[in-house]
Amino acid sequence: MHPLLDGLNPEQRLAVTTTDGPLLVIAGAGSGKTRVIVHRMAYLLDQGLARPEQILAVTFTNKAALEMKERVHQLVPPTRRRGELLVSTFHSFCVRVLRRHLDRFGGTYTRDFTIYDTDDQGRLVKACLKELGLDEKQFPPRMIQSAISAAKNRGDTPDTLPPSSDPKRDAIVRTFRLYEARLAAANALDFDDLLLLTVRLLRRFPDVADDYNDRFRYLLIDEYQDTNPPQFNLVRLLTQRQQNLCVVGDPDQSIYKFRAADIRNILDFERHYPQAKTITLARNYRSTKTILRAANAVIRHNRARREKSLTTQNATGEPIRCVVAPDAEAEADFVVGEIIRWQRQREHLPEADTRAAVLYRTNAQSRLFEEACRRRGLPYVLVGGFSFYQRAEIKDALAYLRLLLNPHDDAAFDRIVNVPARGIGKATLDILTARASQTGVSRWTATEHLLAEGSLGGRALTALSSFVSLMRGLQAMVEGATLADLLQAVVKRSGYLDMLAQEGTLEAESRKQNLEELITAAAEADERGESLRAFLDQAALVADTDLLVEQARVTLMTIHSAKGLEFPLVFIAGLEEDLFPHARAAVDPEELEEERRLFYVAVTRAKQQLYLTQAERRRVYGEEKPTDPSRFLDELPEDALAISAWAGVRAQTASAPDGRFEPASRPIGETPWRRDGSPEPRRARPGSSARPMADAPDRQGFKVGDRVEHATFGVGQIVRVADGKLDIAFPGKGIKRFVTEAAPLTKLARR
């Protein structure tokens, strides 16, 4: 056997050595797809099928591209890799093409163009709105920017967008047209342009397309399920003459629809390339049999996929622990406590074998886990975003509170005096700054002086007066209001929530959720009796601790950020309806399938042990509300789970080889059971706002501890009676919630 094929399984070897014609490699999670891509490139070079410059490999991050290139160099002797092996991202490749050929379009652009990043684009959109006399409050720049990007990715131009009488639509088209003109005048391209202009170039100038078709004899595209329409078109244009194209991906891990990724690109590959061969990599080298059985069971509920089942020669492993906590704070405490216990038991192992990850659906969920880690002295790394208290909307809200506490805090004043935009422009701020500097007073005091003098213009005078009135009104609340009420007044009265609502993007919704979580943090501080100063001090200290986590063995991240990673221990938190899956999934079948793929990705990050956690009650905008378990929990195989809960559920597992039920470890705070098998009544934990579980029977006569029978779920025990609903624990099936009056239940005699 060829040395490059040593250690590859039969499917991997076939993917490496199938070199002629189009090839689709369906690579399941943990199946070694990167190894296949690297060995395929090395094999092409070693066998003399291509020189380095005749191979183009495309992946989605510069880091991955660099690692692939280095691994190829380690496998192939120098004599076989003379020349440039091009491994890059789509955008990097497009920049290379445009630097050589962009002037073919004529005088509009030259090859020394500037690339505008997201911030540059945002500033340009704002400038266009101002030039057009459009109000940023009515037409938020982020919304306009998002709409322009979406239009470009659909292939639309300002001239192809249909006319509309809708003011927002008209504003988008007008801004889009001016935005494009300003980009051209600046000889600048945004990220979308890099892809779109490259596609346009290859279509308009066949000789350029021919050059690249002749140059690249072999193309390899990684993460093909995440390609968007322009990327798909680019691949098609590069394979017009020859079709030695290998695409690698997994439809079950397509989770970037919000970035315009189109799962149909991979599902319809054989239709686009009728001569294609398909190889499936289903042997998983990462996870236990139990974890893979769970992943396979869940993803089978999706229709938009290619059928496959992950298999492994790894051990059966531990059951998946399903834990129901009374509230979100208890959920975070339990997770951190379990990580500490798990890592202490493995102190003798290499650090890589003790790593843990906490995965969640939204960035806003990170706050409680960050705080729980700090309380327990557990170092952590936050991935996929800023630390909660470093996010712009959080810093904005806290700046309002800082200014209320100290009107002479110039940094806080500068941050929020025109956030949200209220018509206080640069000229006015320059006057304020100059007056403060000349008289040696704070910005706030200088503002009061200028207003008293009436020396400002009408618009500036009105805007500053409105800001001062806002702050004085909030100041009057400081003494008597709770922190949560004060913070809620800040985000409402300032117009911050209205700004996000008008923006109407997914990012705006995420920022709104972060503010809701901050209000929840304030409500918890109220329960602890903290003052406004103590609350702000704690928030300031959080940012400092983020600098001390370089050696942490715990990672907190959104599931989107976890793509491609693996950890011995994984917690998937917040498995509740309207959180995960997201509320949008309730009305959109495609969104639900995307959410299920996201859950599949999360499950398959775990190597040895997986926990699924849910809070019975979760605070939304400071108000605690009951939750319903995620539907994904019902899609898991019963015998792969160990069910645990705080509300008196006996922790059991049916995963023993002989089918026996064995008690699982009792989570922190779980209610003990009496000798007769009935649960002790739950009492609220000290410092918790969770309500005690009701012991009194409801109007139908059901009460906690009653045994009942259900036609589908069998015999279970009532663990909670509240709000006209029953929570019933069914061994091996988890906790199910029923509306009392409509519940098809038969009460059984106590044993």
Q: How far is CA 266 from the centre of its chain?
A: 22
- Tell whether residue 28 is among the known ligand binding residues: yes
Concerning whether 110 is annotated as a catalytic residue, the answer is no
- Considering only CA atoms, which of 435, 442, 355 is closest in space to residue 403? 442
- Tell whether residue 289 is among the known ligand binding residues: no
b/e sequence 725-740, b meaning 16+ C-beta within 10 Å: bbbbbbbbbbbbebeb
- Tell whether residue 29 is among the known ligand binding residues: yes
27 beta partners: 281
Among 192, 223, 252, 516, the one annotated catalytic: 223
| Residue 221 and residue 247 in contact, taking contact as beta carbons nearer than 8 Å | yes
List the alpha helices (DSSP H) in 256-409: 264-267, 269-272, 289-299, 328-345, 366-375, 392-405
Tokens for 667? 């989570």
| Residue 143 and residue 502 in contact, taking contact as beta carbons nearer than 8 Å | yes
- Considering only CA atoms, which of 273, 261, 111 is closest in space to residue 201? 111
| Residue 431 and residue 457 in contact, taking contact as beta carbons nearer than 8 Å | no
Neighbours of 148 (CB within 10 A): 23
- Considering only CA atoms, which of 554, 254, 606 is closest in space to residue 383? 554
- Tell whether residue 495 is among the known ligand binding residues: no
Residue 360 DSSP code: E
What one-letter code names the amino acid at 16?
V
- Tell whether residue 452 is among the known ligand binding residues: no
Among 18, 19, 34, 482, the one annotated catalytic: 34
15 Rama sector, left if φ>0, alpha if ψ -120 to 50, beta otherwise:
alpha
Q: Distances from the Cα of 519 to the Cαs of 232, 403, 487, 616, in angstroms?
A: 43, 18, 6, 19
- Tell whether residue 703 is among the known ligand binding residues: no
Neighbours of 426 (CB within 10 A): 8
Concerning whether 605 is annotated as a catalytic residue, the answer is yes
Among 222, 226, 371, 396, the one annotated catalytic: 222
Concerning whether 222 is annotated as a catalytic residue, the answer is yes
Neighbours of 529 (CB within 10 A): 7
Concerning whether 253 is annotated as a catalytic residue, the answer is yes
Among 33, 71, 367, 511, the one annotated catalytic: 33
| Residue 592, CB-side half-sphere exposure with 13 Å CA sphere | 13
Distance CA 629, CA 647 (A): 14
Among 305, 605, 619, 631, the one annotated catalytic: 605
- Tell whether residue 21 is among the known ligand binding residues: no
What is the 3-class SS of 503-540, one letter each residue?
Answer: HCCHHHHHHHHHHHHHHHHHHHHHHCCCCHHHHHHHHH
Residue 419 DSSP code: S
- Considering only CA atoms, which of 653, 655, 606, 552 is closest in space to residue 343? 552
Residues making up the chain, counted from first to last: 751
Q: Distances from the Cα of 732 to the Cαs of 349, 412, 588, 652, 713, in angstroms?
A: 33, 54, 30, 7, 9
Concerning whether 34 is annotated as a catalytic residue, the answer is yes
- Tell whether residue 32 is among the known ligand binding residues: yes
Which residues have C-beta within 8 Å of that of residue 206, sequence separation ≥ 6? none
Cα torsion 514, 518, 521, 523: sign: negative
247 beta partners: 24, 221
Q: How far apart are the first and last CA of the chain?
A: 67
Concerning whether 492 is annotated as a catalytic residue, the answer is no
Binding residues for ATP: 27-34
Residues annotated catalytic, as ranges: 33-34, 222-223, 253, 605
| Residue set of the binding site | 27-34
